[in-house]
Amino acid sequence: MCLCNKCQSNNITLSSELEEYTYKNSKYYVEIEYSFCNTCNREFISKSQILNNEKRVRDSKKQIDGLLSANEIKAIREKLHLSQTDAASIFGGGKNAFSKYERSEVTQSMAMDKLLRLTLEDSYIFKRLVDLSDIQHESKG
């Protein structure tokens, strides 16, 4: 349950509106969530709403940059039959990299983006990356 920080009321209306942003000369619109306290008439953005808003902004920027979306990264990983941990062992980026990419918590580098695309296109690249990593994968050997 969402509470108003100011008056502790739980009479909160959740709402959202489209806001216009500009990034690299491209305009984009993001649905921004916010809360309204019906008791003290205060408008505020809760912590979880801030996180959701930031994810949407990040996803839009990725799209403008031509980077894979969070869902596309997940789809590639699943096509390769990799857990998030194994994907991080093969592609790098740190232990929790894929969990963060797939929740849109961080944006992958351009290098990581290209590597993922190439790996999906060419099974030889995937095989070589598995060979170079220290994981045991069913397609190894």
The CB-of-116 to Zn ion minimum distance in angstroms stands at: 45
Interface residue with Zn ion, options 2, 3, 9, 133 (CB under 5 A) = 9
- 80-139 residues in contact with Zn ion (CB under 5 A) are none
Residue 14 binds to Zn ion (criterion: CB under 5 A): no
* Total number of residues that touch Zn ion (CB under 5 A): 8
Query: d(Cα 52, Cα 54) in Å, to the nearest integer?
Result: 5
* Alpha-carbon distance values, 141 to 81, 123, 138 (Å): 16, 13, 8
CB of 53 to Zn ion, least distance (A): 20
Examine residue 15 and tell whether it contacts Zn ion (CB under 5 A): no
Q: Is the dihedral of CA 89, 79, 116, 53 positive or negative?
A: negative
Concatenated DSSP letters for 99-135? HHHHTTSSPPPHHHHHHHHHHHH-HHHHHHHHHHSS-
Q: Which of 6, 79, 81, 140 binds Zn ion (CB under 5 A)?
A: 6
Contacts with Zn ion, 23-42, as mask; x by CB under 5 A: --------------x-xx-x
In the region spanning residues 63 to 82, those forming contacts with Zn ion, defined by CB under 5 A, are none
Q: How far apart are CA 136 and CA 111, in angstroms?
A: 24
Nearest 5°: the CA angle 103, 16, 101 is 10
Helix (H, G, I), strand (E, B) or coil at 138: coil
Q: Per CB under 5 A, does 4 bind Zn ion?
A: yes
For the CB of residue 19, give the shortest distance to Zn ion in the complex, in Å.
23
Give contact residues for Zn ion (rule: CB under 5 A).
Answer: 4, 6-7, 9, 37, 39-40, 42
